[in-house]
Structure 1
Amino acid sequence: MRRYRRTLVAVALMATLVSGTAGWAAGSGQQAVGGAPPGSEKWRRDGSLPDPETASPGQVAAFFRTLSPTRQRDLAERHPSVVGNLDGVPVELRYRANRIALAEDPRYTRLAAPGRQILAFDPRGRGTVAEVYGDLLTSRHVAVVVPGSDIDAATYDRSKDPYGTPSGMATSLRAATEGRTAVVAWAGYTTPVGVGLDAATGGLAEVGAERLVRFTEGLAAVGAATPKLFCHSYGSVVCGLAAEGVRASDIVVLGSPGMRADSADALRTDARVWAAKDPSDWISKVPNVELLGLGHGADPAAEGFGARRVPARTAHGHTGYFAPGTDSLRAFASIATGGDAR
């Protein structure tokens, strides 16, 4: 009976969402950025280069290993948007290419500041970006932060609510590991805006999952350590859909509305699966059902889901999990360096 009542409530809430947002959601629905990087057509016309859409990250890495440093730099200067976004390209060369691409786009000049290590930058749509904190190739441990809604190239590192941004989460996690972990803030997919149909459905997450799988394949192709994924809010939907194919040793979800799976076993991953949800997080009010494509299924933080629990008693709200001094951040740091939550 309790489950039946919960389903009725969920149906009512979903109906309200559809009827209340259909007008504006249809007009403001996000178009997922996917496929080959910008500039790919020009790249394809420039000799025998790997196809950005069909070549695997391993094939891309193998191709670049055949090139002299001079030839590599030449390609970065002539095709910065392709080289800067192509998984499997040497890390330092991607940084170089993205500095060139950012210098040509006055909207995001702050991302071109000296010392920033921009691993991906795509200005299409609202813009996607990935930034590395630490040395990706020499660090024994690597973590990747996958954010949720309302994150793009403009809001990726906003100063307001810093621990709700991938930049703030990444810097906080790296500090908590005392610099022992290289952290990638991966705002590499088109996120939902606000609370509407995009946030309640899995369309954007499906494209994001494909991009995340390819991104982790690219990390492996250049010799980086197998990452731990830290997936916030709608980002946990992305990680759930990517779980079977992604290269990760751990998948940590926090403030999750669901992973589009009934249990940790249903994710079909060898990675350790962790879940955190603090008592004050409003995400608890979101029904954990999936009905007619709406909703994201079971609560990963529920005991029956089968995920390992991450303590989050001292975290506050939906974006407080990475705040310094919280038990959740201490646990994240332990997981990031290969240990258990503590």
Structure 2
Amino acid sequence: MALDSAQTKLIVICGPTGSGKTGFAIRLARRFDGEIVGADSMQIYRMMDIGTAKPTPAEQAAAPHHMIDIVDPDEDFDAAAYAKMAADTIHEIGARGRPALVVGGTGFYIKALIHGLFEQGPSDPAVRRRLARQAQSSGTDALHRRLQKIDSTAAGRIHPNDTYRIIRALEVFAVTGEPLTVFQQRHGFREQRFNTLEIGLAWARPVLYDRINRRVDAMMAQGFLDEVRHLQARGYGRDLKSMQSLGYRHLAAVIRGDVMLADAVATLKRDHRRYAKRQLSWFGNRESVHWLSPDQTAPASEMIRAFLQDRLA
């Protein structure tokens, strides 16, 4: 018998990169015999471990983890695919009588899971191939400038090097005649699909930025550059969506000889801080999020206990 999503309880641990979500969630999962469902658009990729700050084998052994290492770097995967797969996983966890903790910083994935998505715009392979050829001949920057004229909002949130998303936005416009931003506003999200408790982790901004800087240094010490070299050696090129993400595109430029390592690391730190700022803005606009500091495991535990027992006001 199918489970009723609206009655399925879901605990969400969200927040910016570097805020300590993994450790916080593991402590809570162990306390409530729960299972963790990842909500990170990069941790889904196999072989991309260091640069995505993927939970270590020891951390994954401390509590069951799902939605991590599920596709190769050259496989297509989007919010709609995530929402379906994660929802199925959550129902399986619930059928085992255990709570599911959705943990991550990809706000669009979390929102898609909780609310579901309408169609994300029609697709036309011929249009997509034509745009891909134009990206090869004229460069991604040229396509990004075209997108800026068509949909400045989308262009502002899509990195100029993110060929996949630029092409997707231009494809929607070519097929529908309306900008991607307008399409998303019109078709938007459905009603909430789960009974959800959302907990966000908050740091003072200077402290968070210092944590991010130190985290990037730790990634480099752990062999992030070698990880990128290994991916390239396996044939995963710069045109892939996965390889255009934070860190991977920065270090690929170092390997090509386009930039010095120290400069790339400094830029990566800056871009991680900017990403954290965008995440804070995204989650800050969700009135449903209960904000706690990462050391407030006890208040979070009481909140979860009340939620699971239907006592949360």
More helix by share: 2
> TM-score, with normalisation over the residues of structure 1?
0.28
Question: 1 or 2 for the larger relative contact order (CA 8 Å, sep ≥6)?
Answer: 2
| TM-score, scaled relative to structure 2 | 0.30
